[in-house]
Amino acid sequence: MPAQTPASPFRLPRRHRSRLRAGALGTALGLAATAALAGVSVAASTDSAQAAPAVGDVVVSEDFGGSTLPAGWRAVEGDWKVENGRLVGTSANSGQQSRITFGRHLEDFRFEAVARFESAVDAARWTAFGLDVPATGNTPWSIATMRTGTTAGNGLEFAQRTTANAWNVTDTGPAPTAAGTGRDVRIAVEVHGARARLIVDGREALRTTRVQRSADGGQALLVNGARVSFDDVKVTTLAPEANAYLRAPGAPMSVVAHRGASSAAPENTLISDETARRAGADWIENDVQPSLDGIPHILHDDTVNRTTDGQGRIRDLTAAQLAALDAGSWFSPLHAGARVPTLRAQLDDLRTRGGNLLLEIKGKHTKDEVARIIRDIRDTGMSGRVFVQSFEVDALEFTHELAPDLPLGLLRSALDADPVALAKRLDLKAYNPSAGGLAARPGVVADLHRAGVAVMVWTVDDATGWKTLEAGGVDAVITNRPAELAGWNAAWRQNGTPPTPAAPTVRILAPAPGARVERAASPVPALDTTGAESVRLTLDGKDFAAGTPIDTTALPLGTHTLRAEAKGPGGTTATESTFTITATRTGLAHLILTSGADRVAVATLTTMLAHDQYPQLANWAENQSGRTIPAPKAQQIAGDARALR
């Protein structure tokens, strides 16, 4: 599991003053003291001279027991002062980003403090912890933000202020409790490179994988449109994560978007990736295979038949041929023109727009084909944001040989006899079984965790399954519904456990229960549902497309059953309704006219019907069965005529 910061109270004795440590190197401490006397920011002046702090070192510890700003703290904008044992920052309006910088550049650290809104222009105003901010306070910055209205959907944010002085908000969510004004809130942010998690009053509330890091940015506090006081500011170094893919205590499961957000957009396209990104997915899962000319492309099937307007095996098509295919129209006309992306195009998109890639090497690959995949990852600078998985052990072994820094996951439908031994042999960071495979031996999660191996389970799309996996300690869920799982996780953060969704409801409105339907009618089944993600409709046990008229001429006389089954996050609900096909004079006329009989037969039958000669009509229809009247229709006509006699 990731190393945890030793427990320590937020409130520190007043005798403690600002401590900027640089390990045990006396020379560095002397430089820090000199810089402090000169009134220069320690982070700006001594960072190059400081030795790297040891794991667990408290780099900054300040309780504001003096009457002036601590040495090394640099007020960049707004009003910053020490009052009554607290640091107070004021921003006059929503356009002013008041900020004060301090600390030093760290890759792995915990930044904590007690914050209190004394006043605010409105509930949208905020304070923020600067996670990577230049000592000058100039852009770009990376921050973790808390609004006064913390329980709003964007009450918490991870965001970047770009070099163009614009906002890029990467992650939003609500806090478990309201901050308001006049209330102390304990905030902590644990940062590991580009990953961070925001903890409010001891409970994780939001996390990100998209902290923009620099070579020298330190820490900061920021205030916008508010007056905020701070106490007990502390920055502690953490150990690098032994396995960043293991779920931290109190953290929700990671959301892995299967083939992108494949329930909402055409799978394995840049559109589905963008949809997944906006849904809050931690990872985007895609499949990679080579074209005829060896260029890695993002596609699941071994042919393009199902998800494009083309035909053929991907390995028999050139990159130019693949580029001409429409990979969106099959899903929806709105997505017409979507393309089968190359791996390089996808990596470029992720690099510029954000996101991490769980890349499945699909099917058998040669070592040279794996090498080409790795080359694209290296050339795009995405090595730190790609996790490779495969069902193929050879592909993982090739990857490890060529790029030992890339994390590996082994996909399995059923569990191996000894997953832990296999994980050690292949140097896996994750063992990724199907939900059904894991259900056979759920205790393997704890076994793998003891070996430092994460568990990512595929492919689970409902709240019942998520609840089971969360209780079983699973680290990540691969799902077609990343937005729904992200929402489920948000409820989990808010309440400790998500509320059980209400069961879906479904009613059959038409044909009305017990309705008597004649042949001339073509009723369209109508349903009323709530809380349903999908509905299956059957007629007499056979699937029936909702919205399709019922062909009453194809049904026998008597009672028929419609059954509707609704599935949603809250479970499954089913209901049934019956209607009766009944013989009528009008219905028999409709049956004759639509029977496909020849003109003479139709004239003869309608003449008999006009004179109510039902027995003769039935006998004549049977006599002409298969001759002038199609046999199945002749039997129906005869049956309805006898029912009317």
Domains held by the chain: number: 4
**CA atoms of 433 and 77, how far apart (whole Å):** 52
List pLDDT tens digits, range 189-202: 999 988 899 999 98
pLDDT value at 46 more than 90: no
Q: What value does the mean pLDDT of the chain take?
A: 88
The per-residue pLDDT for 244 is 78
What is the rounded average pLDDT of the residues 427-451? 95
If you average pLDDT over residues 24-36, what whole number do you get?
Answer: 33
Domain containing residue 463: CATH number: 3.20.20.190
**Digit-coded pLDDT (tens) for 171-224:** 898 888 889 899 999 999 999 988 899 999 988 888 887 888 888 999 999 999
Rounded to an integer, the average pLDDT of 549-567 is 93
Tell me if 9 is assigned to some domain. no
What is the reported pLDDT for 546?
74
In the residue annotation, 297 being an active-site residue is answered as no
Query: Which of 26-35, 240-249, 504-513, 632-641: highest mean pLDDT?
Result: 632-641
Mean pLDDT of 236-251: 83
Q: What is the CATH number of the domain that holds 517?
A: 2.60.40.10
Q: Are residues 456 and 549 in the same domain?
A: no
Lowest mean pLDDT among 46-60, 430-444, 568-582: 46-60
4 lies in a domain? no
Q: How far apart are CA 83 and CA 339, in angstroms?
A: 60
Residue 340 falls within a domain, yes or no?
A: yes
Kindly state whether residues 404 and 518 are assigned to the same domain: no
Same domain, 81 and 117: yes
500 in a structural domain: no
| pLDDT at res. 178 | 87
Q: Residue 20: what pLDDT?
A: 35
Edge-to-edge order in the sheet of strand 218-224: 74-77, 97-102, 218-224, 126-133, 141-147, 156-161, 167-173
Is residue 98 predicted with pLDDT exceeding 50?
Answer: yes
- For residue 629, list its beta bridge partners: 625
pLDDT at 442 over 90: yes
Most confident of 433-437, 505-509, 530-534: 433-437
Predicted local distance difference test score (pLDDT) of residue 597: 94
- Domain shared by 577 and 540, yes or no: yes
pLDDT at residue 611 tops 90: yes
Is pLDDT above 70 for 27?
no
- Catalytic residue of the set 192, 258, 560, 590: 258
Helix, strand, coil fractions of the chain, as percent rounded to 5? 25, 30, 45
pTM above 0.85, yes or no: no
User: Considering 192, 300, 449, 590, which one is annotated as catalytic?
Assistant: 300
Judged against a pLDDT cut of 80, whether residue 166 lies above it is answered with yes
Residue 419 and residue 320 in one domain: yes
Residue 17 lies in a domain: no
Q: Say which residues have a Cβ less than 8 Å from residue 292's Cβ, sequence separation at least 6.
A: 315, 316, 317, 318
Is 258 an active-site residue? yes
- The CATH number linked to 113 is 2.60.120.560
Last residue of a domain, one of 212, 237, 262: 237
Q: Is the pLDDT of residue 37 over 60?
A: no
Contacts 24+ apart (CB under 8 A), 276-280: 276/355, 276/482, 277/353, 277/354, 277/355, 279/255, 279/482, 279/483, 279/486, 280/171, 280/255, 280/482, 280/483, 280/486
Decide if 457 is inside a domain: yes
Of 468, 495, 522, the residue at which a domain comes to its end is 495
638 is in which domain, residue-wise?
Answer: 585-644
**Percent of the chain whose pLDDT exceeds 70:** 91
The four Cα atoms 329, 334, 339, 345 give a dihedral, to 10 degrees, of -160
More confident residue, 170 or 312: 312
Mean pLDDT, range 139-160, rounded to an integer: 93
- pLDDT for position 593: 94
Query: What confidence score (pLDDT) does residue 497 get?
Result: 52
- Residue 480: per-residue pLDDT: 96
Looking at residue 498, what is its pLDDT?
53
Q: What pLDDT, on a 0 to 100 scale, did the predictor assign at position 354?
A: 78
Q: Are residues 293 and 353 in the same domain?
A: yes
**pLDDT tens readout for residues 336-374:** 999 999 999 999 999 888 789 999 999 999 999 999 999
Mean pLDDT throughout 484-499? 76
The answer to whether residue 1 sits within a structural domain is no
More confident residue, 423 or 123: 423
Same domain, 322 and 371: yes
The verdict on residue 248 lying in a domain is no
369 and 387 part of one domain? yes
| Whether residue 140 sits in one domain with residue 95 | yes
Nearest to 202 by CA among 94, 269, 112: 112
Residues 6+ apart with CB under 8 A from 568: 462, 501, 503, 504, 531, 532, 533, 534
Tell me, yes or no, whether 457 and 408 share the same domain. Answer: yes
Residue 496 has pLDDT above 70, yes or no: no
The reported pLDDT for the residue numbered 50 is 59
Do 183 and 295 have their domain in common?
A: no
Which pLDDT does position 645 carry in this prediction?
82
Q: Are residues 472 and 325 in the same domain?
A: yes
